[in-house]
Every structure is written in structure tokens, then in C-alpha cells.
Structure 1
Amino acid sequence: MDIQRETFADKLLGFTLPARGARARAVRLDSSIDEILSTHDYPAPVTHLLSEALVLAALMGGLLKDDGEDAQLTLQAQTQAGVVSLLVCDYRGGKLRGYADFDGPRLANLGANPSLAALFGEGFLAITFETEGGQRYQGIVPLEGDTLAEACESYFSQSEQIPTMIRVASRSCGDDRVAAGLLIQHLADGEEGRERLHVRLDHPDWEHVLAMAGTTSHDELLDPALSLEAIAWRLFHEEEEIRVQPGPVISRGCRCSADYYVSVIARFSATERDEMRGDDGVIAVDCAFCAKTFALEI
């Protein structure tokens, strides 16, 4: 294995197990997640939650076949009465961004390690795939289970009928953060791209892959000295073949700009724009993702 070509951080890795009809995506976020999370002063429980969501967005976004400028994966968790009212992440062509809105005083009353149910209450998770050709697919599942990863597994099982296992790990040490994950799926009638037929959770190939992938530890996923290729090799070195597919570099990708907001505001009437102005005559627009404020003179 050529260590110069191995994948360690801030880059997606895809691989398939042709003999087992399985595909996988793996990612470790380092500087990219630091850059995304540092734009807001999130408390520890929200940092942990958003870290998991960003890893999930990268893993699922890596499944997009049309990885062009318009192909996008959006993950949105929302509730009416939860402590976290909104969590949204999206992935487009290696560009990743995320944001969470929450009630600070209520969050402080939950303690250091609140459960998913305590954070969201009765919420839902919406997962939207948009292809380069403009097609849009969305599935919505309840926010049930202990983690967002479990809710995503339910999405694939219910909406896509694809047996899926997802593992996510994250760690914070002061301002240094790292988060990583592994997603593996069974495409029951062959490798990636073939029609999915006779998908069964008890398929012997899937049971084998699930047993092997389930041995992945959080320490392995987060180990900066252990490449993602090495993790795949540790898990599946006894397989006939592992086909590795290097993915894109991951970076923070907020798409806000003054020109973009001017084009949006210009769609309103002159009267409506006047109502948006502050005392200084300027229209101020905040970007929730990157915490920037744009002063627009239009």
C-alpha cells in the first residue's frame, strides 16, 4: 500500500466488495470540521450533534453518482418543541456546511450528555438527494433511536430498501475536533450500479459484511495515523477483492455572497425593500451557516 496515496483526513474514500455485493464510504473530518464549527460558539452537546450530522452528510453525499456542481445531499432534522429546533447540513461536490439552532437556557438544563430524544423531542429527519440532472428524491423518517446515524439507517431501510450500517465517532479536545464515519450497504444483486433485487437483511453475504464492519472501533475511525484504506483492509482483507475509489477533498463550502443576496433581495418590490432597511438605509442579511452579515445597499 502506497502511504503517499492513502487517505487520512478531509477526503472521502469509497470502496466496494464485489463478491459480497457491498459498497462503502468512509471519511475523517479534521480541519474542515474545525472551520465549520468555529464560526459559532456551540456548547458541547450541539458540537457533538452537529459533528455527527456533518459526517453523515459527507458519507451520504458521497453516494451521489453525479458529483457535479448541482448534485447535492441535504440532511435536515427539525422539531416544533425540541431544545434543538433545527439542524441542517448539506454536501455538494466535496463542499460541506452545517448549522444548528437551539434554545440555550433549556439546553443548559439537560446536563452534559443529553439524549437525542431530549434534544429533539418528537422530531423528524428529512434526507434529500438532488442529482446533477435536476431529479430530487426525499425521504422523511422519525428521529428515533439513540443517534442520528440510527435514524439514517432507518431511512435507507424504509425509503430505499437498502440494508445499511453506519458508524460515526467524534472527539473534541479544546478547539481541536475530529469526526469520522463508515457507511456500508448491501446491493443484493451485485456491485454498485446494478438493480437492487431480493434485498434481505438476513442475506448471508450481508450478515458476513455486517459482522466484519461491526468490529470497527471509534478509536480506529479517529486515529490520525490510520488511513481509511488501512481500516478497509483491516476489516475485509480476507475478501477476494477490495476495489478502492478515492473521493473528493472535503472542505467548508458556504455559498453565501453579497452578489447572491442582492439577486434575491432584488426580487422584492421597492416598498418591501424599504421595509427591510435599517435606520442607516442598509439591508442587513445574516448567513446562518457562516455567521457573516452582509450590508446591502440596494
Structure 2
Amino acid sequence: MDEVLPFTIPARDVRGRMVRLGTSLHEILAAHDYPPVLRRLLGEALVLTTMMGTLLKDEECQLTFQVQAEGGVVDLLICDYRLGELRGYVRHDAERLAALDGRESLQDLFGEKGYLAITFDLAATGKRYQGVVPLEKASLAQVCEAYFAQSEQVPTLIRIGLDVEGERCAAGGLLIQHLPDGEEGRERLHVRMNHPHWEHVAALAGSMTAKELVDPTLGLDDLIWRLFHEEDEVRLLSATSLTRGCRCSAEYYRTVLGRFPAEELDEMRDEAGDILVDCAFCSKVFPIEL
């Protein structure tokens, strides 16, 4: 089952998220004929997007996870999460990717000037804010840990598991954070990264293996129990079911195109008078009549 399960450990001032993707991941990856390295890259990004998206207090909010590069073999990776719906896409140069001959570091894929932008669209206020961090780590998960430490001043540990190369398609993730005032946190001028509560919980969570995160015989609550069963209290919050959720439709595109002046719309039309809109997320072309 595709879902994310939030939890807290009140005595340790820790909150966490455990996620498992299956059907939704398969549907997103199947939209394009991605090579194995990009299936793993996008799978990791989707898990991170889900865990970070569910950290937002208002469920109507949207989180967008976007990696861009100048002149990289991969020049764009984008995912977003909103209301339990996920979507994602990777744009790349197939010939240059093949020429890498097995080299798969973030720097190999994105070049030396890649960066991750995390954008939060807040439904309650209509405001948007963004954090940007360079791709100077070995994995996207480590880049996100650096983002939280630098931009949010929140000690964070992330573990990812992927099984996307065979017939089965699965991904899982664990995210834990130390917040001095629990789930809500507080404004902080300085955070001690070596707080004893955090060191204790991070040591336990760090023992989680990639194999466990994608094991279909282990439920998310089972995994949390394995890690933290010696704690006085672990609170499991309401789980959220996850689905692939591309928001493309002919009606949506008519609304968007309706904002363009008539002369620009005429330039977009094909010989039949239609405007063809290509959705990269789901690999569909929509002929729009206006």
C-alpha cells in the first residue's frame, strides 16, 4: 500500500515520517522509458518529496522538489506533492547519459553547477517561499539533510530504500528530525546538533537498512516498532494514502490557454486548428480546441 505514516517521540522531541511507494511509483516511472540510473534518481526524489511535503501543517499546501543544472546530462528533475498526490519527471540527454558508461554520481549527472530548490506553496496565506542548496553531497537524501541543517536549522536524518530495476517497483524512506518543542517546533537562533536526545534517536534510526524499507512483509508501523520499541512512548499519527496525481486535463489547459491573447493562440495552432499541449509528467499530448 502506498502511504506515509507520521510519528512522534515526545520524550525525545523528535518527529518522523515513514513512507512506502509501490503502485504510484510504478505509474510515474512507466510514463517514460527511463534507464535504471534515472529510475533510481526519480524514485529517491519522489520519496523525499513525499516525506517533506507531509511536514507542512496545512494539508492543502504544495511542496515542489526541483533539481536543475546548467549543461548537465540531466538538466531538470521535478516532483511535487499535494493532498496525497505525487508526480515527477526527469529530462535528460540520452546520448550523453549513455556515454557516462556507468558513472552515476550527482556531479556526473548534473554537472558542477547543479542545485536543489525546495518550494513551499502555503494554502492558508497564499505565500510561497523557497530554499536552495547546491548538489555537493553524494545523494539527494544527503543534500536534503544539508538543506534542513543550513536553511531550517533542524537536525535531520534520512534513509532511502529503492527496488526499481526488476519486475517489482518499490521505494521506501525514513525521515526523523529533532525539534526542541516537539512536532510544532519553535523559532530558533541556534540548534545544538549534538543534543543527547537527538544523538540517541539518530543512532537508532541510522540502523534502518534499505532492504527493510522496501520489504513488502514489513508494514510501516512494524518498522517504527523495530527502531523505537524501547522508547517510553511513540505516537503514530494518521497515515495518508498516496497516489499518482498528474493534474493535466483538457479543461485545465483550456483555462490556462484562455489567458493568452488571440494572436499568440493563433501562432500555437497546428494545421487542424488545434493547439497541442504535451504534458511531460504523464507523457500525453492534449489537442485543445479554442
Provide TM-score, normalisation by structure 1: 0.94
Consecutive aligned runs of 4 or more in structure 1 exceeding 2 Å deviation: 172-176
Letter in 2 for 1:259: E
Asked whether 1:132 is paired with 2:119, we answer no
CA distance in 1: counterparts of 2:287 and 2:224, whole angstroms:
48
CA distance in 2: counterparts of 1:158 and 1:42, whole angstroms:
32
| Cα distance change, pair 196–244 in 1 and its aligned pair in 2 (3 A) | farther
Query: Is there any run of 5+ residues in structure 1 with no aligned partner, and where?
Result: 1-8
Report the 3-state secondary structure (helix = DSSP H, G, I; strand = E; otherwise coil) of the residue aligned with 2:4. strand
- 1:50–1:100 contact (8 Å) kept in structure 2: yes
Letter in 1 for 2:84: G
| Cα distance change, pair 251–113 in 1 and its aligned pair in 2 (3 A) | farther
| TM superposition shift of 1:175 | 4.0
Letter in 1 for 2:246: C
Q: Give me the identity figure in percent.
A: 55
Report the 3-state secondary structure (helix = DSSP H, G, I; strand = E; otherwise coil) of the residue aligned with 2:52. helix
| Cα distance change, pair 182–130 in 1 and its aligned pair in 2 (3 A) | same
Residue in 2 that maps onto 1:201: 193
2:3 maps to which of 11, 14, 38:
11
- 2:36–2:165 contact (8 Å) kept in structure 1: no
CA distance in 1: counterparts of 2:66 and 2:165, whole angstroms:
27
Residue in 2 that maps onto 1:96: 86
| TM superposition shift of 1:255 | 0.4
Aligned residues: 287
Report the 3-state secondary structure (helix = DSSP H, G, I; strand = E; otherwise coil) of the residue aligned with 2:169. strand
| TM superposition shift of 1:264 | 1.3
Letter in 2 for 1:191: G
| TM superposition shift of 1:196 | 4.7
Report the 3-state secondary structure (helix = DSSP H, G, I; strand = E; otherwise coil) of the residue aligned with 1:139. strand
2:162 maps to which of 145, 156, 170:
170
Computed over aligned residues only, the root mean square deviation of the Cα atoms, in angstroms, reads 1.1
- Deviations 1:220-248 (CA, angstroms, capped at 9, x unpaired): 11100101111111111111100001221
1:257 maps to which of 210, 226, 249:
249
Letter in 2 for 1:79: A
Asked whether 1:65 is paired with 2:57, we answer yes
Which aligned pairs between 1:15-26 and structure 2 lie closer than 5 A?
A: 15-26=7-18
CA distance in 2: counterparts of 1:277 and 1:206, whole angstroms:
58
1:107 maps to which of 85, 97, 107:
97
- 1:21–1:192 contact (8 Å) kept in structure 2: yes
